[in-house]
Structure 1
Amino acid sequence: MAKWTYSKSGVNINRADLAKQSIAKILGATHSKKVLNKIGHYCAAVDIGGGRAVAITTDGVGTKVLVAEKMRKYDTIGIDCVAMNVNDLICLGVEPLAMVDYIAIRKPNHKIITEIGKGLAKGALEAGVSIVGGETAILPEIIKGYSEYSFDLAGTAIGLVDKRKIIDGSKIKMGDVLIGLPSSGIHSNGLTLARKVLNEGNRKIGMELLKPTKLYVRPIMKLINSVEVKGLANITGGGLHNLLRLNKSIGFRITNWPRIPWIFQEIQKRGRISEFEMHKTFNMGVGFCVVVAPKNVKKAMAILKGEKPVVLGHAIGGNKVIKSGFYYK
C-alpha cells in the first residue's frame, strides 16, 4: 500500500501558500495606515481611534461538512465554525465580540439548517460572541457532496482590543517557553487526508472525526488578563508550521509532547504516513499554544490548569520548528 501525504489526498499546501502570497500582495495595496498588521497572521487589526482596534477574521470548517453529511449529524458542525474563527481572533489578544455565518447548500432543507443553527448558537454562547446575521445561499450547480443536501459552512468574526495590548509575537525572545493546550481531537483541519485513509462511514470513526473543535476563548482571555503573554498560536491547518507565523526571526525547539490521541495513530497507521507529514498536517493532540517568559511559566500553568497544559519546549533563533530531528520551516 502506498504512503499517503496531504498533497496526494488533494491538498497541496505549498501551492496553496503560493496562491495566498500572490493574492495577499495584491490586496496589500488596499491597506491604509489604519491597518496595524500584515496579511498572514491569524486575524487583522484596524485602528478605530481612541486607542482601540477592531480585529477581523474569516474561516470555514472544510471537508468536515462531508463527515457530518455521511453521519447525518448536523448539530455540532456549527460549533466548529465558531471555534475556527474565535480561536483565530484570540491569537492577537482580541476579545471576540460578534460573528456572521455563511451557509451554502445544494438544496434547502429546514431540518438540516436548523441543526446547523443549533451548533452555531451553542458555540457562540460558549465563546461569548453574538451571531448577528449571515447568508444562506442555494447553489445547486456549485455545491457537490454525497447527497442533494450537501453544504458548505463558513463564518466571519470580529473583536475589540486595546492597541497597547495586542499580542503579535514581536516580543518573543530566545529562551521563552512554549506551552501547549490539548485539542479535543482532529478539530477542523486535515479531514481531506483523514477521510482518504479512514472509513468515515464507520460509526466510531465518523463520530470521532465529528468531535467539535475545542473553544479556547475563556481560558486564554483569563490568561492574558493575568500574565504577560508574548505569543498565541491556533494549531490548525499546517500543524507545527503555525508556530512560524508568530515571529519571522524566532523558531521553537519541541522537547516534549502529550500522548497522541488514538485517532491520529489510526490515521498514521492506515495511511502509512510519516511522523513529519503528520505534524505538518494535523494538530496531533495540541490545539493551541502560548508563549511566555520563563519567569511566568508557573503562574501560566496554574491559570491554565483546567485545560491540562503541557510545556512543549522553548523559543530559538531562526524561523523553524525542530521536533524529533525534523525541521519544519
Structure 2
Amino acid sequence: MSQVDYKEAGVDITKADAFVERIKKLVPTTFNDQVLQGIGGFAAVYKLNDQKYLASCTDGVGTKLKIGQHLDKHHGIGIDLVAMCVNDLLCVGARPLFFLDYMAFGKLDTRISEELIAGMVDGCRQSGMALIGGETAEMPGIYKDGEYDLAGFSVGELTPSEMFKEEAMSEGDVLIGLASSGFHSNGYSLLRKLVKDSETELLEQLLIPTQIYVETFMHLRQKFQSSILAAAHMTGGGIHNIPRMSENFDYTITSWPSVEEMAPVFKPMLQRMDLSQEELFRTFNMGVGLTVLVKKAHAEAVMTELKGKNIKAWMLGHITRGSGQIEMTDWKL
C-alpha cells in the first residue's frame, strides 16, 4: 500500500484554496453591478436584465490526460472536459446553453484532435449544449509531441427564481448523493502513481468518463421545483465542496455508500492506498459525483423518483445552522 498523499503527489489543495482567497480581493475590482456571483462559486452569474441571468464557468481535465495519452484513447477525455464544466453550471441553477474548447498540442495530430472533438460533441449532446467554437494551438517547446492540454468554457441561462438562494435552505433539509462513474477527473496526480503503465485494464477503468448529470438534475428540478435547494459538484477537494452551498450551515454526514456500492474502479485503487478516511474524502469524490440538497418533506419522494429511473443515489445526511463545517458521524467505509 502507498502512503503517498495528494500533496506529495504534487497537488497542494490547501495552497490552491489560499490562492483563491487571495485573488478574491483583486478580481472583484473588475466587477460591475451586473455580477451577482463571482469568484469562488461553482459558476459565475451575470445579470443580463431583470428576467434573465447568464452563468459561466471554465475547467480542464487535469492529469487524467496522461492516461488517455498513454493508452492512445481520447474520446472519453473530450467528454470529461464537457462534464467538468457543465456539472458546475447546474450548481447555480442554470440550464446549459453552449460550450467552447481550447486545445494545445506540441504538434497537432489530426486523428487525436478529431477524437477529442468527437468526445466533446458527445458530451455536449448529453448536456443539451451547442459546441459553438474553440481554439487549437501548436506549442512546440511547451508540450512534447503526443502531449496536449485542454480547457473548456460553458455558458448557461437562468431566471431570477431559478437561481439557488440560501434563504430557501432550512435546518433538517436532506443531502442526497448521486453516484459517480469513477474518480471522474480529480485526484489523478496521485492515482497515476499507484498504477503501472502495463496495467492496461485498470488504466482503462480509470479512463471512464466523468458522469454528466444534466438530464437527471433538470428532471428533478422540473418535477420537484423549489424543493431542490442547492447542489455541489464533487470535484477537487472532494466532500469539502458541499459547504460551498452555503457557509451559514453545517453539513452532517450520517452515512455514505460502501466501497462495494461505488463504481468498480474504487475498490482496487483504494486497496493500494494507506490514507486516512479524512484524506480520502478530501482528495476523491468517493463514489458521489453530485450532492443535491432537498427539502426534508420531499427527500423520500426524490429518492423514489431516482430509484424508478435506475439512478443510483443515497441519502447522505442533513444540514443545520452553522459556519460551513462538515461533521462525519461515527461511521467508516
The TM-score normalised by the length of structure 1 is 0.94
* Mapped partners of 2:301, 2:197: distance in 1: 41
The residue aligned with 2:177 is 180
* Pairing 1:65-104 to 2, within 5 Å after superposition: 65-104=65-104
The residue aligned with 1:48 is 48
Aligned AA (1:173): S
Q: What is the CA deviation profile of residues 185-215 of structure 1, one whole-angstrom value per residue up to 9, with x for unaligned ones?
A: 0100111111112225411111111000000
The residue aligned with 1:137 is 137
- CA gap of 1:2–1:132, structure 2 versus 1, over 3 A, is closer
* Mapped partners of 1:81, 1:324: distance in 2: 34
Q: What is the CA deviation profile of residues 204-258 of structure 1, one whole-angstrom value per residue up to 9, with x for unaligned ones?
A: 1111110000000011011112212111111111000000111011121111112
Long gaps (5+) in structure 1? none
* Mapped partners of 2:33, 2:40: distance in 1: 17
* Mapped partners of 1:135, 1:168: distance in 2: 35
The residue aligned with 2:302 is 300
| Counterpart contact for 1:93–1:221, Cα < 8 Å | no
The residue aligned with 2:280 is 278
Q: What is the CA deviation profile of residues 65-123 of structure 1, one whole-angstrom value per residue up to 9, with x for unaligned ones?
A: 10100111111110001100110001111000001001111111010001111101111
| Counterpart contact for 2:99–2:155, Cα < 8 Å | yes
Aligned AA (1:108): L
Aligned AA (1:239): G
* Mapped partners of 1:168, 1:62: distance in 2: 31
The residue aligned with 2:186 is 189
1:203 to 200, 203, 213: 200
Q: How far off its partner does 1:167 sit?
A: 1.1
* Pairing 1:22-61 to 2, within 5 Å after superposition: 22-61=22-61
Aligned identity (percent) is 37
3-state SS of 1:271 partner: coil
Long gaps (5+) in structure 2? none
3-state SS of 2:202 partner: helix
The residue aligned with 1:245 is 244
| Counterpart contact for 1:180–1:290, Cα < 8 Å | yes
1:309 to 307, 313, 330: 313
Q: How far off its partner does 1:316 sit?
A: 2.4
* Mapped partners of 1:127, 1:214: distance in 2: 11
| Counterpart contact for 2:50–2:160, Cα < 8 Å | no
* Mapped partners of 1:215, 1:80: distance in 2: 9
| Counterpart contact for 2:38–2:45, Cα < 8 Å | no
Check if 1:166 corresponds to 2:168: no
Of the structure 1 ranges 260-269 and 170-179, higher mean CA displacement relative to structure 2 is found in 260-269
- CA gap of 1:138–1:246, structure 2 versus 1, over 3 A, is same
The residue aligned with 2:257 is 258
Aligned AA (2:11): V
| Counterpart contact for 2:251–2:318, Cα < 8 Å | yes
The residue aligned with 2:105 is 105
| Counterpart contact for 1:70–1:201, Cα < 8 Å | no
The TM-score normalised by the length of structure 2 is 0.93
* Mapped partners of 2:50, 2:169: distance in 1: 27
| Counterpart contact for 2:2–2:272, Cα < 8 Å | no
- CA gap of 1:168–1:107, structure 2 versus 1, over 3 A, is farther
3-state SS of 1:280 partner: helix
* Mapped partners of 1:143, 1:171: distance in 2: 48
Q: How far off its partner does 1:170 sit?
A: 4.4
Of the structure 1 ranges 133-142 and 161-170, higher mean CA displacement relative to structure 2 is found in 161-170
Q: How far off its partner does 1:169 sit?
A: 4.0
* Mapped partners of 1:201, 1:49: distance in 2: 55
3-state SS of 2:48 partner: strand
* Mapped partners of 1:168, 1:55: distance in 2: 15
- CA gap of 1:200–1:219, structure 2 versus 1, over 3 A, is farther
